[in-house]
Amino acid sequence: MRGGFVLALAVALWWVCPAVAAEVESSCVSCHADEEDEELAAPVEEWRHSVHAEAGVSCDGCHGGNPFEEDEELSMDEDEAGFLGSPSWREQGSFCGSCHGDIRDSYATSVMASVIEEGETVAVCTTCHMPEGHDIRPADTAEILTEDRCSECHDGQRAVALREVLVDLDAEIAHAEHGLEALRGRIDTSSLDREVASLRQRAVVIAHTYDLERISQVADGARARLAGVDETTEALAAESTFRRRLGFGVVLTLSLTAAAAARWKTFYPRRTD
Amino acid sequence: MSERPEHADGWLDARTGWRRIVRSQLTGYLLPATVNRWYSLGFVLLIFVALQFLTGVLLLIYYVPDARFAFESVQSIANEIPFGWLIRLLHVHGASAMVVVMLLHMLSVVVMGSYKSPRELHWVTGCLLLFVALGLCFTGYVLPWSQLSFWATTVGMNLVGSVPGIGLAIQKAVQGGEVVGPATLGRTFALHIMVLPTAMLALIVTHLYLVRFSGISAPPRLRPVVEARKRHFFPDFVFEDLAVAFSVLAVFAAVLFFRPHLYFPPEAFEPADPFVTPEHVKPEWYFLAPYQVLRWIPNKTLGIALQILAVTAIVLLPFLDRGERVHILRRPLFLASLALVVVALVALTAVGMQ
């Protein structure tokens, strides 16, 4: 009997293991990770900590190439594999914008985009999102928009004002998200989630215009909508609490009834035939 | 002298014979004294089926079986109709609870060898009840017309289409076309609220009739003894059944109230969109094991054929296992096979959840 259990367990484990081990990496990752040249190997480890890795966007998502091709030459062939390589400083907008189109369009209206063609050195995508390598993360507005950094080209006070508006808006959106997060799994917050996500996306997109007046206008509109979200979140929290209390009552009643049913039969004379 | 007035119950008894029915089915119905609490799972199952019928009827009041309005109507039930959330959660959680209890009931029958002669048909009707219940779960999954509904149904229908021979015909008939679409909703709605519930009721009546006809089996003993002692169904077993039923319902309520979204991934809150495929589409937990097997077997038709073979063997179990020994410890090979099946099913489901 014991042998049967061991056999069953062994077969089940044998069956399960191949699926656990069946994760396939792209040839870009597997080859570059083994590179001796640190400059070629480092991006792999950096990328593993990036928002792109979290979202399942691998090397070929930005640089092209064929991640299923093991041959180095073929995998990075421009014609056969559509390899793009790394963009020049000026090409970054369209390179990243192939996926982040709304942000590219927003950036295109900014004063920075207007002078980029004139050869001016301005902030581009990698300046804020890839400052130290391929560990691409959402930029922290408070760290980036500092008087020191921005005053090299602009009026430093304007950067401070811009930062204040964006940081305040970010905090208010984060507050709304936090409130909804606390209710996750307890009550349906999907419509509010969608609204807050759209507000955050709008804030991110408009931030790339670096236009204080437009950003302030959007921030005011967003605040009004966030106030409505907070109000609804509070109502949902109250509803969730009510449901939990109701749950306590129902579980307690059912448990007591079960105990009573187990005891009640003793009140009847036991008969056996 | 006026005639003595007849009592209402006597009047009714003379016309319906209800006293005889109560005597034969409750107070005079005797069961082996050794019947244990595992036998109460059948009663628990009846409660969950009744709960599904009741909550299903209440949901029907507000649900709109039209692809343009189905999602909004379900959202309205969950968020706007007073206590609509509770009715919906009872129905959703109740479906899973029904499958869990059904599987436990079948497992207890297998362990106690209750499927053996002369109760082969109890087992067969029980298996058919499980298939109908799974059919109800599958068709019910479609109705909210969310992203989860749409894409899980697409996966499920593709699996149905892989059944050798008749698969494609069934897939097209249920889908109402080449792909899952608005026509699918109408067809699964008809199946969910009329065809399958009727089949379930008919099978339950048949199953209960067979149980009464052949009688309930006594739990097997290692050393055979002549067990003549009997106990009354009422009050003894009725109260035991109630105690088990309320205990199970307490656990059920705890899950429902404190893990209400256990069966709702984020895709359940998005309306169906045929042009946006969610990243991870998975069937409901009770279909994960067969789904996982199909993921591992490269040939889908072969995978389906093997599973049909396995299911057929399970349905025909009483006719394949005709040995005299009933106690599970006296059948080590059978016990090992059963353990293997249970461990494999649990492991496959766990892997499928990853």
Tens digit of each residue's pLDDT (9 = 90 or more) over B109-168: 999 999 999 999 999 999 999 999 999 999 999 999 999 999 999 988 988 888 888 999
Least confident of B85-89, B280-284, B307-311, B321-325: B280-284
pLDDT at A92: 85
B259–A contact, CB cutoff 8 A: yes
Question: A98 in helix, strand or coil?
Answer: coil
pLDDT at A20: 41
Spatial separation of the C-alpha atoms in residues A247 and B117, rounded to whole Å: 45
Question: In this complex, do B257 and A246 lie within 8 Å of one another by their Cβ atoms?
Answer: yes
pLDDT at A73: 86
B229–A contact, CB cutoff 8 A: yes
Question: In this complex, do A258 and B242 lie within 8 Å of one another by their Cβ atoms?
Answer: yes
Q: Which of B134, B133, B149, B99 is nearest to B271 (CA)?
A: B149
pLDDT at A139: 84
Question: In this complex, do B257 and A12 lie within 8 Å of one another by their Cβ atoms?
Answer: no
As a 3-state breakdown, chain A gives helix, strand, coil percent values, each rounded to 5, of 65, 0, 35
Spatial separation of the C-alpha atoms in residues A134 and A143, rounded to whole Å: 19
Among A13, A20, A243, A244, pick the best mutation site for testing chain B contact (most B Cβ within 10 A).
Answer: A243
Our CA-based measurement puts residue B143 at a distance from the nearest CA of chain A, in whole angstroms, of: 18
pLDDT at B172: 94
Spatial separation of the C-alpha atoms in residues B246 and B94, rounded to whole Å: 14
A11–B contact, CB cutoff 8 A: yes
A269–B contact, CB cutoff 8 A: no
In this predicted structure, the answer to whether residue B276 has a pLDDT above a threshold of 70 is yes
Which chain B residues contact residue A250 at CB under 8 A? 253, 257
How many CA atoms lie within 13 Å of B75's alpha carbon, on the beta-carbon side?
A: 16
The nearest alpha carbon in chain B to A20 belongs to: B351
Chain B, 71 to 90: residues with Cβ < 8 Å from chain A are 75, 78-79, 85
pLDDT at B151: 94
Output the tens digit of pLDDT for each of chain A's 273 residues. Answer: 445 545 555 554 444 444 443 445 688 888 888 888 888 888 998 998 898 988 888 888 889 898 888 888 888 888 888 898 888 877 888 889 989 999 999 998 988 888 887 777 788 888 888 888 898 888 888 788 877 777 777 777 888 888 899 999 999 999 999 999 999 989 999 999 999 999 999 999 999 998 999 999 999 999 999 999 999 999 999 999 999 999 999 999 999 999 999 887 666 655 555
Question: In this complex, do B269 and A7 lie within 8 Å of one another by their Cβ atoms?
Answer: no
B295–A contact, CB cutoff 8 A: yes
pLDDT at A22: 41
Q: ipTM value of the model?
A: 0.90
Which chain A residues contact residue B354 at CB under 8 A? 19-20
Spatial separation of the C-alpha atoms in residues A20 and B354, rounded to whole Å: 9
Spatial separation of the C-alpha atoms in residues B282 and A240, rounded to whole Å: 28
Q: What is the largest CA-CA distance in chain A?
A: 104
Which chain B residues contact residue A13 at CB under 8 A? 347
In contact, B115 and B109? CB cutoff 8 Å: yes
A264–B contact, CB cutoff 8 A: yes
Q: Which of B258, B340, B346 sits opposite A7 (nearest CB)?
A: B340
In contact, B335 and A1? CB cutoff 8 Å: yes
Question: In this complex, do A7 and B232 lie within 8 Å of one another by their Cβ atoms?
Answer: no
The nearest alpha carbon in chain B to A21 belongs to: B351
In this predicted structure, the answer to whether residue B248 has a pLDDT above a threshold of 90 is yes
pLDDT at A5: 47
Point out which residues pair with A272 in neighbouring strands. B231
Cβ within 8 Å of residue A29, ≥6 positions away: A44, A47, A58, A59, A67
In contact, A128 and A37? CB cutoff 8 Å: no
Least confident of A84-88, A227-231, B314-318, B340-344: A84-88
The nearest alpha carbon in chain B to A251 belongs to: B250
Which chain A residues contact residue B28 at CB under 8 A? none
Q: Give me the long-range contacts of B309-315 (CB less than 8 A, separation at least 24).
A: B314/B127, B315/B123, B315/B124, B315/B127, B315/B128
pLDDT at B154: 93
pLDDT at B116: 94
In this predicted structure, the answer to whether residue B51 has a pLDDT above a threshold of 50 is yes
When computed from its CA atoms, the radius of gyration of chain A, rounded to whole angstroms, is 29
| Percent of chain B scoring above 70 in pLDDT | 97
Phi, psi of A21 (to 5 degrees): -85, 0
Which chain A residues contact residue B76 at CB under 8 A? none
pLDDT at A265: 65
pLDDT digits 0-9 by tens, A230-240: 999 999 999 99
Our CA-based measurement puts residue A261 at a distance from the nearest CA of chain B, in whole angstroms, of: 5
Which chain A residues contact residue B78 at CB under 8 A? 188
Which chain B residues contact residue A7 at CB under 8 A? 336, 340
B37–A contact, CB cutoff 8 A: no
pLDDT digits 0-9 by tens, B53-86: 999 999 999 999 999 999 999 999 999 999 999 9
Q: How many CB pairs under 8 A join A and B?
A: 132
The nearest alpha carbon in chain B to A235 belongs to: B79
In contact, A56 and A71? CB cutoff 8 Å: no
Question: In this complex, do A185 and B30 lie within 8 Å of one another by their Cβ atoms?
Answer: no
B270–A contact, CB cutoff 8 A: yes
In contact, B77 and B66? CB cutoff 8 Å: no
B30–A contact, CB cutoff 8 A: yes
Which chain B residues contact residue A186 at CB under 8 A? 260-261
Cα distances from A199 to residues A95, A145, B309, in angstroms, run 25, 21, 54
Question: In this complex, do A188 and B242 lie within 8 Å of one another by their Cβ atoms?
Answer: no
- Note if the pTM is more than 0.90: no
